[in-house]
Amino acid sequence: MAERRQVPARARGRAGAVTDVRRGETDAGGPELLTSGTSVETLAVVTGSEPVRVTAADFAVREQESPWTEQEVQAVRTELLVDMQRLEQDVVLLETGLADVTRHSLDGAGDDHADTGSKAYDREQELGFLTTTRATLFQTRHALGRIEDGTYGDCELCGRPIGKLRLQAFPRAVLCVACKQRQERR
């Protein structure tokens, strides 16, 4: 079995770790630092007043995989940050579109059943797009939080390594292949 480095105790389960990225909360009650204006250099979970730095060597890898390099982690982090900014813009556009569709569906006095059904379909479609985009945004923020707290690469169910190749292909993955297959069979 491949040797795994333990994430420093200061990086796991410490005060200030992100607990709910959807609401921007930390277990210390402070604001979440993962916002669209956050630069890569300042994207660190803060304990008290000093930022905690997690190195690439802290991330788990599977047997036969080379350890993460700082450049590989930086590439994944940058991809996630770009995705996060794009998704935040998409959410704003979709919310505006949904508001327009909803407004237009309310002034349907005199519409026949086909018009009413078409408006309802448009509204449901916009709502579906918005829900999916918000979920992807949450997953992106969650992945960034895991990078910063040193748990990126650990399966959230079994704790074993997810696999560097899997994470490079799908940076938002939180489950190893075995756990994901078990989850999909249910």
- pLDDT score, position 47: 30
Nearby residues of 44 by Cβ (< 8 Å), 6 or more positions away: 33, 51, 52, 53, 148
Q: What residues does each domain of the chain span?
A: 18-185
Rounded Cα gap, residues 142 and 32, in angstroms? 11
81-111 pLDDT tens trace = 999 999 999 999 999 988 887 776 666 555 6
Task: Return the structure tokens found at 88.
Answer: 């935040």
Average pLDDT of the residues in 42-51: 42
DSSP state of 121: H
- pLDDT score, position 67: 92
HSE on the CB side for 26, CA within 13 Å? 22
- Write the DSSP string, 44-75: --EETTEE----GGGS---TTPPPP-HHHHHH
User: Each residue of 79-103: b (16+ CB within 10 Å) or e?
Assistant: ebbebbeebbebbeebeeebeebee
Q: Give percent above pLDDT 70 in the chain.
A: 66
170-182 pLDDT tens trace = 999 999 999 999 9
pTM of the model: 0.66
Nearby residues of 83 by Cβ (< 8 Å), 6 or more positions away: 136, 140
Rounded Cα gap, residues 107 and 135, in angstroms? 31
Rounded Cα gap, residues 144 and 77, in angstroms? 7
145-162 pLDDT tens trace = 999 999 999 999 999 999
* Burial (CB count within 10 angstroms: exposed 0-12, middle 13-18, buried 19+), residue 130: middle
Residue with tokens 């959807």: 22
60-76 pLDDT tens trace = 889 899 999 999 999 99
Give the class (CATH, top level) of 18-185.
mainly alpha
Question: Which amino acid would we find at residue 49?
Answer: S
